[in-house]
Amino acid sequence: MTDPQQPSPTDRSDADDVEQHACPKCDAPPGSPCRSRGGAVASAYHTRRFTRVPRLKKALRGPTPADRGPGRPWRPGTPPPAPIDPDLPSADIRIGYARCSTLGPELDSQLDALSKHGIPGDKIFSEKISTRVRVRPKFGRH
Ligand SMILES: [Zn+2]
């Protein structure tokens, strides 16, 4: 159950969302407006394309905004960045935790590995503590 009046959490336009998808009807690639049979920018997105955006599913028409130049000769646009995989945690909430029992290169290599996974340095916590210790002061609540 979604409320159609709910404001979008981002300021992306409908057209930006529609253009995340390639068009199954006219084969316009992501980032490009729909194409008419005459080779011009279509005045509206094809139904099978704009209904791929959940909030536009019930819309009857997805007009092409003026900045896409409806009626002008069609050219491929710039593909949008790939959407974030919903199965991956977003970068904002990723943290890293490294632990080792001795000083030295072992901890550094763990920290390197974490930063290679794209975890920012201020989100990486580390401590030197024996692996026999079950309580991890910086990891648990307290
Ligand atoms: Zn199309």
User: In this structure, which residues have their CB less than 5 angstroms from ion ligand 1?
Assistant: 23, 25-26, 28, 34, 46, 49
Tell me the per-residue pLDDT of 43-94, one tens digit each, with 9 for 90 and over.
999 999 999 999 999 999 999 999 999 999 999 988 877 666 667 665 556 7
Q: Show me where the domains of the chain are located.
A: 12-83, 85-142
Euclidean distance between CA atoms 59 and 93, whole angstroms: 34
Q: Report the DSSP pairing between strands 124-128 and 96-100.
A: parallel
pLDDT, tens digit, 9 for 90 and up, residues 10-35: 567 899 999 999 999 999 999 999 99
Distances, alpha carbon 98 to alpha carbons 2, 65, 73, 87, 142, in Å: 41, 49, 56, 23, 17
What is the whole-number distance in angstroms between the Cα of residue 104 and the centre of ligand 1? 58
Rounded CA separation 51/73 (Å): 24
Tokens standing for residue 79: 């593909």
Tell me the CA–centroid distance for residue 89 and ligand 1, in Å.
32
pTM: 0.52
Residue 44 parent element (H or E): strand 44-45
